[in-house]
Amino acid sequence: MPRVNLSINQEMYDKIKHQAEIQGISVNNMIYSQLQKQYGDDEFDYIVALDCLKQEASEKSGYFSLWELPTFKEISNIDSEQGKKESPEQIRARLGKMFHDSVKNGQVWDVMIHTGKIEVPQHKSKRPGRAVIYAKKSEQRKLLYNTPDDIFNIVEQHLQEAINQ
């Protein structure tokens, strides 16, 4: 896939960055989406797909990977044989990175990147090779601290106030 190096003035960058932050994506993904709308013949809309992934992730419980979300699974059904459209693998890679960046920046409600291992009933540790595992923040708090969310929020608020002083 060809790479493009682009230089723009600060004012234009600030406008693009502002719009990207509103949509919860990176500046690069914002520019790519606009170029795709203007010049691409591909009908896949990354912004809509990302919004769907965010919604589906917010509704999940426990631990999950992107492969468990319906929107991500359906990408395999895209026909890559027509012209020079992106392959499903390329779409999944770009969309996965967009989602990961959104979670990392706190733009997906109550979802975090899980960095540890997951214990499965057969007493084996499960961590798929390169797959990123996500978890609900509220469920992680309960597991780690064994306290209700409201107590954790009070403690978190007091810690933040102490840091700010």
Contact 66, 132 (CB under 8 A): yes
Q: pLDDT tens digits for 25-42?
A: 888 888 988 888 888 766
Q: Please, what's the b/e burial string for 137-162 (b: 16 or more CB within 10 A of its CB; e: otherwise)?
A: bbbbbeeeeeeeeeebeeeeeeeeee
> 92 or 151: whose pLDDT is higher?
92
In this structure, what DSSP letter does residue 129 have? S
Residue 56 burial (CB count, 10 A): 16
SS3 state of residue 136: strand
3-state DSSP helix/strand/coil percent for the chain, to nearest 5?
Answer: 55, 10, 35
Q: pLDDT tens digits for 96-140?
A: 999 998 888 888 888 888 877 666 554 444 445 567 888 888 766
Identify the helix (H) or strand (E) that includes residue 133. Answer: strand 133-136
- Residues of the chain with pLDDT > 70, as a percent, come to 69
Tokens representing 80 are 């890559």
pLDDT at 127: 47
Helix axes 149-164 and 137-145, enclosed angle (nearest 10)? 90
User: Alpha-carbon distance 64 to 57, whole Å?
Assistant: 8
pLDDT at 14: 96
Q: How far is CA 150 from the centre of its chain?
A: 26
| Domain residue ranges of the chain, discontinuous segments joined by + | 10-164
